[in-house]
Structure 1
Amino acid sequence: MTLTPALAGALGSLLAGLATALGALPMLGIGRSAQRHQGVLLGFAAGVMLAASFFSLIIPALHHLEAQGAGSWRSALISAGSVALGAAVIMALARFFPAPDAPVAPSSSWLMSEQSIWLFVAAITLHNVPEGMAVGVSFAGGGYAEGSTTALGIGIQNIPEGFAVNCALALRYSPAVSFWGAVASGLVEPVAGTIGALLVAQFQPLLPWALCIAAGAMISVTMSQIVPALAHERSNRAQISLIAGLCLMMVLDLALA
């Protein structure tokens, strides 16, 4: 069956987005015990976000700018400005919905605030928009082979991201709510993928901006919401988990580039 570029982009980005469900599946068996492993789960999520910010978003944005003929200075300024804009959006949201002061308590009883968790989920969801757009643009602009490769690479990258979202949600919500929240975070990709495939000429120049804005948002959430939470952990487990998440995401991003 021959698919139109728009339909191919929609299906490819849908499959890539649904890969978040694969990453979320392991948390269904953990349930409320996730609260006892907050540092490990948040450390892994932070590592995934930091690696994805640079290897999934900023570096691909620079490649897109280079392909569009932008010089070194223009590429650097666009990337830096977009990252700053993404961080500013998260800081504005955090100011609008301030989190309560964290209680002084042992790490075993301290929980990440609800506001922080939803800022984290919002940042991951925002970063899925340009990824879905990239799949749609690849199908419409580069054909089925390039589009399929892009969808496969982003889909595999979405697996640890789905786990990261579920890790955060599981600290406050039931396993079922956490699972479907992680799945929903990936379902923005088919929407963005369809739009990108339909309006490839208009959206292709915007991809670098969107990628770097999402990167700035993720870095801001990691530093303002997750890192302070990890300060309550007295062991090295959170730090080890962060490095593990960062290394895993870095390997996936570089291998699937």
Structure 2
Amino acid sequence: MNPILMAFLGGLVTWGVTAAGAAMVFFFKEIKPKVLNLMLGFASGIMLAASFWSLLLPALELSEDSPLPWLPVVVGFGFGGLFLFGADKLIPHVHHVEDEPRGGISKVSRNSIRRSVLLVTAITLHNIPEGLSFGIAFGSVGTVEKATTAGAIILVVGIALQNFPEGAAVSIPLRRDGHSRLKSFMYGQASGIVEPIAAVFGAMLASSVRSILPYALSFAAGAMVFVVVEELIPESQNDSHLYGHAATIGTMLGFMVMTTLDIALG
């Protein structure tokens, strides 16, 4: 099958799982903090494992014949984090429903821009590297010897697993904040719509320009790690003194699940 088409279908899957997570708002009005911490920790572990096994390690293997095999990995990884850092500063958004808007919004604008839109903007921004990652993985099949369709599918599965709690973590707090169930669901699922678009772009890039593949893979990894360290882990540790080690256990479980999927099945 055409790698670009496969990347698009993979994006539809991850978007669909995000929508399934957001649909939890029809059954629950709130998530117990301990459960939410566990879910966010699980998502963190999935993304960390995917960043290494599915992105950084293949990037290093692609660069091993170059004079400085570490250079594409380090440069791409750094630029991935820098991209998210810049976007985080420039694009108006909030990270959580209770936060004040960030990104240079004036006091007047704070009264006119809905927090729910800004929250979805933040999640959508952070979904871009996820779509890029498996898009690049599909695009490299056939052009890179060690790249396989099975490996790309495993990456889609891993990202889909972490998208479920992410969708719920958007829609349910919006419901608690006073939005209707339908509106909360629509905002929650909308956060995943960017993944098919980013996946197609990544596949087109990877299949047409092989020389930049190590940089592209590392870029996606750097962006994903930035999201985990900047957003998911701190949020999962909220009130950790009250709820024990739920977030840490979730992170360990997520890493183990993704590692098993990638090594045993990929």
Query: TM exceeds 0.5?
Result: yes
CA distance in 2, matches of 1:119, 1:56: 21
The superposition leaves residues 195-216 of structure 1 with CA deviations (integer Å, 9 ceiling, x where unpaired) of 432x143443433432333234
Distance in 2, Cα, partners of 1:91 & 1:98: 13
Match of 2:174, SS? coil
Map of 1:1-257 to 2, 5 A cutoff?
8-20=2-14, 21-22=16-17, 24-31=19-26, 33=28, 35-53=30-48, 55-59=49-53, 60-70=55-65, 74-75=69-70, 77-96=71-90, 97=92, 118-138=121-141, 140-141=142-143, 147-170=148-171, 171-172=173-174, 174-197=184-207, 199-222=208-231, 226-228=233-235, 230-233=237-240, 234-236=242-244, 237-257=246-266
Q: Distance in 2 between matches of 1:146 and 1:89?
A: 26
| Equivalent residue number for residue 107 of structure 1 | none
Summarize deviations over 1:56-108 as a string: whole Å, max 9, x none: 22343233333333579742x543444343334434444445859968xxxxx
* Aligned-residue offset at 1:30: 3.6
Unmatched 5+ stretches in structure 1: 104-112
Which ranges of structure 2 fall in alignment gaps of 5 or more residues?
100-114, 176-183
The aligned length equals 235
Determine the C-alpha separation between the residues in 1 that align with 2:153 and 2:93.
38
Distance 2:80 2:29 in 1: 30
d(CA) in 1 for partners of 2:216, 2:87: 23
Deviation at 1:28, TM superposition (A): 1.1
Q: What is the letter of the counterpart of residue 262 of structure 2?
A: D
* Distance in 2 of aligned mates of 1:82 and 1:146: 19
What's the offset of the Cα at 1:23? 5.5
Seen in structure 2, the aligned counterparts of structure 1 residues 86 and 184 have a Cα distance that, compared at 3 Å, is: closer
C-alpha distance in structure 1 between counterparts of 2:84 and 2:139, whole Å: 26
Answer whether contact 2:10 2:156 (CA < 8 A) is retained.
yes
Q: CA RMSD in A?
A: 3.7
Distance 1:252 1:172, change over 3 A: farther
Using a 3 Å threshold, how does the CA distance of structure 1 residues 79 and 62 change in structure 2: closer, same or farther?
same
Give the secondary structure class of the aligned counterpart of 1:141.
coil
- Relative to its length, the structure with more helix (as a share) is 1
8 A contact 1:124–1:218 mirrored in 2 = no
Looking at structure 2, the residues matched to 23 and 33 of structure 1 have their Cα atoms a distance apart, in angstroms, of: 16
Q: TM-score, normalised by structure 1?
A: 0.70
Which residue does 2:179 correspond to in 1?
none
Secondary structure of 2:30 counterpart: helix
1:145-173 alpha-carbon deviations (Å, 9 max, x no partner): 96532342223223213213313322226
Superposed CA offset, 1:6-35 (max 9, x none): xx0111112222221136425414447353
How far residue 38 of structure 1 moved from its aligned partner, in angstroms, is: 4.5
Q: Which amino acid aligns with 2:60?
A: L
State the AA in 1 paired with 2:62.
A
Distance in 2 separating the partners of 1:151 and 1:14:
12
Residues in 2 aligned to 1:133 and 1:11: alpha-carbon distance in whole angstroms: 12
* Partner in structure 1 of residue 109 of structure 2: none
